[in-house]
Chains A and B, each alone.
Chain A
Amino acid sequence: MFVLVVGGGKVGYYLTKELIESGHEVVLMEKELERARQIADEIGSVVIAHDGCEGKYLGEAGCNRADIVAAVTGDDEDNLVICQMAKHHFDVPRTIARVNNPKNEELFKHLGVDELISPTRMILGSIEQDIPVHELLHLAALGEGELELIEAHLQTGSPAIGKATQDLDIPEGCSLFAVIRDGIATPLRPETILREGDKVIAIGRQECQELLHDQLIGEAIPAS
């Protein structure tokens, strides 16, 4: 497989190295001459010291026969353009872009980039899953976006622990509708007593989330 990697930062460098080790044909484009030389010294003459955003140099790098183009520079707009040029001008079958701003994912997908890798999103996802986060977890936006599906994980310090749902001061425009306890989801009844470790699923308008936070999460405990 012939892979064209654009961007000789840490990601591009290690990617190129790994691909060569697994027997693929690789060309790496890096526009900074010094950096390009440095990489070439280490891994051999697979480096083209030119800007991979420039159509001419993409062509010279053999973009038209590439099976995959991986755009891994630190700039989202560069990665977008590299992938679009590869796809629409050089008919590359598969394009992969690194996306730093998670907000750009939708747009890039929409504009035809085949695969998106977002380090920011990955790390964010990992943090939200693994570390006890004393915040409301936003699961999804509903309707036109003014309603949100929210999960609140009741942990030590939550004022809701030991209380019945009906005794909570739930802000208007919010409703608690299920609790996940020991991996089982059950509908919340007014008399259900909440316990530590419960995950309460709620739907609420964005503006009442602060009140909901006070009721279910309480004072945030700084993560140790």
Chain B
Amino acid sequence: MKTVIVGCGRVGAVLASSFDQAGHEVIILDLTSRAFDRLPSTFKGTALRGDGTDEDILRRAGAEDADVFIAMTEGDNRNVMAAQLAQEALGAKRVIAKINDPLRADAYADLGIAALCRTNLMADAVHAYLDMPVSGRKGILEPTGSHPGGEHHEIVATSTNTVSAGSNVAREASGTVPSGSQAVPAREV
């Protein structure tokens, strides 16, 4: 499985290392090369310094046609942009973006991006720990809608097929993804 991770913070580094250990191909990007110090010395994947919201840089990093694309930088908006770029222009099959603002997370789940919302995630974890009723919000909001640009192919001259493939998968995902009780409960996080 080809995995692209943008942002080598704590979470990004943990994910990169676990995917790598599980035998997957991993490409991780960060703006500073010092961030890669977080990766274990055994890491066999590719670590590249560069802006993950820049299409050219992502292409040069070999981020096209990723099976999984995870945007994990500190900025919600950078994650949103990287994720949409991956989905619309780079043919990523599954896209996850960390979006800590619950409202933005909801909005982008509606637009076809799996939104990982730390705010909801941690609030629920605390509620669960204290045996208080959990809000029912999920840590990862599954994409419920197709992307606004989903039907259009004009954006990438060279890879029209990957654009439509990416958006088809996004639409498929909205139909097949487990919902409600089947999704990761806060307790297990």
Contact = CB atoms under 8 A, between A and B. Distances in A.
Interface stretch (B11-19, B74-82, B172-180): B74-82
Given A89-B103, A110-B152, A111-B84, A53 B76 contact: yes
Interface string B68-109: 000000011110110011001100000000000111101110
Contacts of A144: 157-158
Given A55-B101, A84-B111, A111 B149 contact: yes
B103 A81 contact: no
Interface residues of A, number: 25
Interface string A47-81: 00000011110010000000000000001111011
Contacts of A89: 103, 107
Interface stretch (B25-33, B48-56, B124-132, B134-142): B48-56
A77 B152 contact: no
> Is the interface on chain B under 10, 10 to 19, 20 to 34, or 35 or more residues?
20 to 34
B157 A80 contact: no
B85 A81 contact: no
A77 B81 contact: yes
B157 A145 contact: yes
Contact of B77 (A56, A78, A106): A78
A161 B20 CA distance: 60
B104 A110 contact: no
Contacts, number: 78
Given A88-B111, A107-B155, A55 B81 contact: no
B69 to A, nearest CB: 15
Interface of A: 53-56, 59, 75-78, 80-81, 84-85, 88-89, 101, 103, 106-107, 110-112, 141, 144-145
Given A55-B107, A56-B101, A111-B147, 10 more contacts: A76-B81, A77-B75, A84-B108, A88-B110, A89-B103, A106-B155, A107-B55, A107-B88, A107-B89, A111-B149
26 contacts: A53-B76, A54-B103, A55-B102, A55-B106, A75-B77, A78-B77, A81-B80, A81-B81, A84-B80, A84-B111, A88-B110, A89-B107, A103-B56, A107-B84, A107-B85, A107-B155, A110-B88, A110-B149, A110-B155, A111-B84, A111-B88, A111-B147, A111-B148, A112-B148, A112-B149, A144-B158
Task: Rank and list the top 9 A-B pairs by shortest CB-CB distance, nearest first.
Answer: A55-B103, A77-B81, A77-B77, A81-B77, A110-B155, A110-B149, A89-B107, A112-B148, A77-B78
